[in-house]
Amino acid sequence: MNPNNKRGIKITGTGSYLPPLTVTNDDLAEILDTNDEWIYTRTGIKARRYNGGKPNYTMAVEAAKRALENAGAAAAEIDYILLSTSTPDFIYPITACLVQNALCADNAACLDINAACTGFVAGLDVARGLLYSGYNRILFVASECLTLHADFADRATCVLFGDSAGAVVLEKADKFFVSCMKAKGVSADEPVLYYKQNYEINAPFCEQKTKSYAQKLQMDGKEVYKFAVDAMPEAVKTACGEAGLTIDDIDLLIPHQANIRIVQTAAKSLGVSMNKVYVNIENNGNTSSACMPVCLDELNKAGKLREGMKICFAGFGAGLTYGAVIIEI
Ligand code: UT7
């Protein structure tokens, strides 16, 4: 094993926030031409949470408070707030600063990152770099309010998404860490999975005065599916190879919770038993970069995290971004 991979991270606390409003497939069937059987057999989703139209940052703050409490850390002891979201309430102020203000985490630097659904994996990699560049304790939050941006006229996509936030407190540790971050950039003319904000061009000296973009999340589901079933295993295999690990060395795989069929196909292609794969998609749906820290918090609360375990996080998302991180906890 590469000894350099020992510059790792310790997760000293986890937290999550799931909004109280549960929306089942049957609830959606009341407003859309859909049904529980179609959604469940195609995706493995039975229900998801909606934040009731409230802003995304409110979930981030709750998850962050819970992670700090679990870590036994005061907000003032955090020197960096890293926040992953692809559904911010504002372009700026950045969401990390809204969280900082709500927590009174006055000693923290703040940064938002957006790698779409791969955001938690990418953020672990970024957080590790920050820790080894001199920061001591990072609060890393992933918070996503997809229901504010889903297109409820598009039944093939809106049924997939829900809202949630998850957070971890991270410190440096002499533990194993390896990452493999990748991307397959798409053309702006055929972005596959995208969300553009609508705006009006009124700048002087411009010929074009108005431009209207799609205001809601758009997705070519089949293309994303095909990409995902190859991308996730590729990233996991590359990370293992780089670390001199075999797939059997991984104790637990936490994949992006997009679709149970994607997860099962990826696990099969890796030769990983589904017993080693954590999924909560049935009750939560796809909450983009927030899926994985919510999974982690559920595992933590259930007492299923043991010191020394090797956990692999593997994700994919718009961009198209993808990647895997393997950490020893
Ligand atoms: O983190 C974001 C990542 N995104 C993803 O992971 C999405 C990956 N893709 C997928 O999971 C799948 O492509 C979907 C679940 C989104 C769609 O499944 P599909 O097998 O690709 O379905 P489709 O879009 O090809 O539609 C098949 C049929 C169509 O009817 P016809 O043309 O065969 O008569 C659709 O109109 O299913 C119909 N359909 C629905 N029927 C009932 C599409 N959505 C629905 C629906 N309820 N909600």
Over the stretch 14-63, which tens digit does the pLDDT of each residue have?
999 999 999 999 999 999 999 999 999 999 999 999 999 999 999 999 99
The residue ranking higher by pLDDT, 207 or 64, is 64
Which of 259, 265, 289, 320 is the pocket-test mutation for ligand 1 (most atoms within 8 Å of CB)? 259
Give the Cα separation of 110 and 138 in Å (integer). 10
Catalytic residue among 5, 180, 256, 259: 256
Question: Which domains are delineated in the chain?
Answer: 3-174 (3.40.47.10), 179-328 (3.40.47.10)
Mean pLDDT value across the chain? 94
Over the stretch 116-170, which tens digit does the pLDDT of each residue have?
999 999 999 999 999 999 999 999 999 999 999 999 999 999 999 999 999 999 9
Q: How far does the centroid of ligand 1 lie from the alpha carbon of residue 155, in Å?
A: 8
DSSP one-letter code for 87: S
Average confidence (pLDDT) over 218-241 = 94
Task: Answer whether 136's CB lies under 8 Å from 172's CB.
Answer: yes
Determine which of 116-130, 200-214, 273-287, 314-328 has the lowest per-residue pLDDT on average: 200-214
Average confidence (pLDDT) over 247-257 = 97
Give rounded-to-5 percent helix, strand, coil for the chain.
35, 25, 35
Q: How many CB atoms lie within 10 A of CB 174?
A: 9
What is the band of 209 on the pLDDT scale with cuts at 50, 70, 90? low
Alpha helices in the chain (DSSP H): 25-29, 36-43, 56-71, 95-103, 119-131, 155-158, 221-243, 260-270, 281-284, 291-301
Pocket of ligand 1 (CB under 6 A): 34, 38-39, 42-43, 117, 155-156, 159, 219, 221-222, 224-225, 228, 258-259, 262, 286, 288, 317
Average confidence (pLDDT) over 216-232 = 92
